[in-house]
Amino acid sequence: MTTAAGVEAPSNPYGPPRLVHPLRGLLDVYLTEMRIAIAEQIQYRASNYFYMLGMVAEPVIYLVVWSTVATQQGGSVGGYTIGALAAYYIVWTLVRNINIVFTPYGWEWRIREGQLSAQLLRPLFPIVEDLGFFLGWKPVVVLLWLPIAFFLAVVFHPTITTSPLAILVFAFSLLGAYLIRSLNQSSLGLITFWTTRVGPVFQLYIAAELLLSGRLVPMSLMPAWVQTVADFLPFQYTFGFPIEALVGNLTNEQLLNGLLMQVFWIAVGSVLVRVVWHFAIRRYSAVSG
Amino acid sequence: MIDSAVFVDDLRKTFFVPVREGGLGAAFKSLINRETKAVPAVDGISFDIEPGEVVGFLGPNGAGKTTTLKMLSGLLFPTSGIVRVLGFEPSRRESAYLRQITMVMGNRQQLQWDLPALDSYELLRAIYRLHPEDFRRTRDELIELLELGDLVRKPVRNLSLGERMKVETAAALLHRPTVLFLDEPTIGLDLTMQKRIRSFVAEYNQRFGATVLLTSHYMADVQALCKRVIVIHHGRLLFDGDLGALANRFNATKTIGVTLKEGTPDLSKYGDVISSEDGKVSLRVGNAVAPKVAAKLLQDLDVADLTIEDPPIEDVIESVFAGASATPAESEVAEPLAEPAAAEPA
């Protein structure tokens, strides 16, 4: 092992440890993070389930409201039948579970409790660790989600017409939604380096997400100007696009465009995180260890 | 510089802390005019450490020890000055650098709370890109050296503080770092566990030729491990040299213990009486007069036993800090007190 100046490191009778190839190492990090996350989730399977059940309340309220509106308007609203609305919000529950990521509150906690110091001492960008860890939750989450989806389907009778291509695009778009949301929220979390309290900014983000992503209501039900604004922002690629890719009968061109826009917002998010990190880390005062 | 494991030159770190008076008025005023105060945590210290050395880094709370360690490990950006560790600039946090160092903090928690430490060790293997075979060998060696046994198979939340500290220490060393920054590694541990950590650090230093910079409020840690100490106070260097030289430099007194065959007379005319009970008297006298006072005691009294000792190192350190606090211009004392660093590995 040599130093940056090309000097031999202190003699080590056991020799320096051998390293695996960087690519293999990165894959190993993701797989190990996933294994750890799964092991942790299994530890808390009951509380996870209650959390998921609580989370279902949000789309069920939206579904009941919009189904009522649709009934009063002769069976559909904004082109969505009652069955299509049910399909939208049932798929919503899966997308929501997949796009749960490490939040700015987590960054607050991480800095306050000194956890970030431990991470900064490791030769791995902390956000890479987060991506791997939260990705590891997802297989468990999908397993837990299946019975809930079945129950919702029995109660609300969704009508789904989809295609193999739509299903494939949906699978990729879930990953895209997860990455976009992760990068956005990591950038917001890094604001903690300046403000120490990131809650109000995060709440603003959530409010924008509710209105501009298809989380509160399918985007086609929003006024035209809201849809125009949403086209210039990443939010709809974290909720509306994945859902509609599966149940919205999008054309092949719309599916492709959606995926390309996700790639675009992932690139923007990656650059944003790197730039903010570059300045943020200089402000880190390593409080609490 | 280039052969040093650690090289520090005129290192400074200033924090800008918001300040305001108490009360609602001051709170509103701070909305418009936010005042900050520059607090120099590290104020121009310089030292270097040879590969394989074990150095004690001493100072009272707030002296700047942890801030210095954080700059050395790359956690903090220095305000000014030069820092090089193994030839790297720590604040750049290059992977090749982070793979060769570790920082153990008494209050740090890097293991997954709900899982056995073995799982977290696996994660660290992946993060450090360690070859599985090398990782297993080091892991098993650390488990043996720290006598971890089955502790690594229990969820971390079920471990006692001392047990957790041991498994955390092993986690910090799995990548076999060659430079160790240990910040209060025995804090809160019982005496047995302190001793075990101490002997482990010594063993690790010898086995891997590692360079160690250690802060501790327990002088037993420093005495057991460090031949050389660096003392800082208010962010400035007070002393850099041999631990024994520290006592000689700052300790102006000796303790004379006298055991008398009969009675417990008043011996205050020989020196300051520290204690006096059942024929055993302890006196504090000046270094220069200690032999004379001892001879006089032997001549004047019916003495069963007499000892001359240096005071405990804790008292010496306390007097160093007390002296430094009382000194109006510390920059004036820092230079004359510094002496060439001991280069010999511990």
Comparing alpha-carbon positions, the chain A residue that sits nearest to B205 is A12
What mean pLDDT is predicted for residues B253-272? 86
Residues B218 and B272 in one domain: no
Query: Has residue B218 been placed in a domain?
Result: yes
Instruction: Give me the amino acid identity at B325.
Output: S
Residues B291 and B279 in one domain: yes
What is the distance, to the nearest Å, from the Cα of residue B79 to the centroid of all Cα atoms in its chain?
23
pLDDT for A162: 87
- What are the extents of the domains in chain A? 22-283
pLDDT tens for each residue of A278-289? 988 888 875 544
The structure tokens listed for A105 are: 């509150």
Q: A32: which chain B residues are within 8 Å (Cβ-Cβ)? A: 122-123, 125-126
What mean pLDDT is predicted for residues A169-192? 95
Query: Has residue B144 been placed in a domain?
Result: no
Residue tagged 């060769």 (tokens): B100
pLDDT for B246: 79
Query: Could you give the C-alpha distances from B96 to A30, A118, A281, B78, B128, in angstroms and in order?
Result: 20, 17, 19, 20, 10
pLDDT tens for each residue of B298-342? 988 889 999 988 777 767 777 777 765 544 333 333 333 333 333
The mean pLDDT of chain B is: 84
Q: What share of chain A is helix, strand, coil (3-state, %, to 5)?
A: 75, 0, 25
CB B240 within 8 A of CB B341: yes
pLDDT over 70 at B145, yes or no: yes
Residues B89 and B12 in one domain: yes
pLDDT tens for each residue of A190-217? 988 887 778 888 999 999 999 999 999 9
Query: Has residue B28 been placed in a domain?
Result: yes
pLDDT for B341: 33
Is the Cβ of A23 closer than 8 Å to some Cβ of chain B? no
Q: Do B123 and A18 touch (CB under 8 A)?
A: no
What mean pLDDT is predicted for residues B154-178? 90
Interatomic CA distance for residues B257 and A95, integer angstroms = 79
Look up the pTM and report it: 0.79
CB B138 within 8 A of CB B176: yes
Q: For the purposes of burial, counting CB atoms within 10 Å of the CB of B252, is it exposed (0-12), middle (13-18) or buried (19 or more)?
A: middle
Residues B330 and B270 in one domain: no
Residues B207 and B221 in one domain: yes
Q: A9: which chain B residues are within 8 Å (Cβ-Cβ)? A: 51, 86, 100, 178
pLDDT band with cut points at 50, 70 and 90 for residue B192:
confident
CB B40 within 8 A of CB B14: yes
Q: Do B114 and A17 touch (CB under 8 A)?
A: no
pLDDT over 80 at B279, yes or no: yes
Q: Give every strand in the sheet of B54-58, ordered side by side.
A: B101-105, B179-183, B211-215, B54-58, B228-233, B236-242
Sign of CA dihedral B202, B208, B210, B216: negative
- Measured between its terminal Cα atoms, the distance across chain B in Å is 20
Suggest the residue from B39, B82, B108, B133 to mutate for an interface test with chain A (most A CBs closer than 10 A). Answer: B108
pLDDT tens for each residue of B83-128? 999 999 999 999 999 999 999 886 667 788 888 999 999 999 999 9
Interatomic CA distance for residues B123 and B249, integer angstroms = 48
pLDDT for B339: 34
pLDDT over 70 at B31, yes or no: no
pLDDT tens for each residue of A135-159? 888 888 888 889 999 999 999 999 9
Provide the number of CB pairs (under 8 Å) joining chain A to chain B. 152
CB B341 within 8 A of CB B47: yes
Interatomic CA distance for residues B56 and A11, integer angstroms = 21
Sign of CA dihedral B18, B20, B23, B26: negative
pLDDT for B20: 72
What mean pLDDT is predicted for residues B238-254? 80
pLDDT over 80 at A186, yes or no: yes
Q: B75: which chain A residues are within 8 Å (Cβ-Cβ)? A: 117, 120-121, 284, 286
Q: What percent of chain A has pLDDT above 70?
A: 93
Residues B184 and B270 in one domain: no
**What φ, ψ does residue B241 adopt, rounded to 5°?**
175, -160
Closest CA to B124 of A272, A255, A25: A25
What mean pLDDT is predicted for residues A237-259? 94
**In this structure, are strands B6-19 and B211-215 parallel, antiparallel, or unpaired?**
unpaired
H runs (alpha helix) in chain B? 24-32, 65-73, 95-98, 117-127, 132-145, 161-173, 191-208, 219-225, 243-250, 290-300, 313-326, 330-337
- Give the containing element (helix H, strand E) for B148: none
Number of domains in chain B: 2
Question: For residue B277, what are the domain limits?
Answer: 252-309
Residue from the list B88, B103, B129 with its beta carbon closest to the beta carbon of A20: B129
Q: For the purposes of burial, counting CB atoms within 10 Å of the CB of B318, is it exposed (0-12), middle (13-18) or buried (19 or more)?
A: middle
pLDDT band with cut points at 50, 70 and 90 for residue B2:
low
Sign of CA dihedral B190, B193, B195, B198: negative
Residue from the list B115, B128, B134 with its beta carbon closest to the beta carbon of A36: B115
pLDDT for A242: 97
Q: For the purposes of burial, counting CB atoms within 10 Å of the CB of B275, is it exposed (0-12), middle (13-18) or buried (19 or more)?
A: exposed
CB B342 within 8 A of CB B241: yes
Query: Has residue B45 been placed in a domain?
Result: yes
Of A3-7, B83-87, B189-193, B325-329, least confident by mean pLDDT is B325-329
Interatomic CA distance for residues B184 and B219, integer angstroms = 11
Residues B183 and B281 in one domain: no
pLDDT tens for each residue of A10-54? 444 456 788 999 899 989 998 998 888 888 877 777 887 788 788
ipTM of the complex: 0.80
* CATH value at residue B197: 3.40.50.300
pLDDT over 90 at B59, yes or no: no
Residues B34 and B77 in one domain: yes
Residues B186 and B275 in one domain: no
H runs (alpha helix) in chain A? 22-43, 45-72, 82-98, 104-112, 115-120, 126-156, 164-190, 192-195, 199-212, 224-231, 240-247, 252-283
Interatomic CA distance for residues A71 and A81, integer angstroms = 9
**What DSSP character marks residue A237?**
G
Query: Has residue B289 been placed in a domain?
Result: yes
Residue from the list B119, B130, B178 with its beta carbon closest to the beta carbon of A10: B178
What mean pLDDT is predicted for residues A253-273? 97
Comparing alpha-carbon positions, the chain B residue that sits nearest to A33 is B123
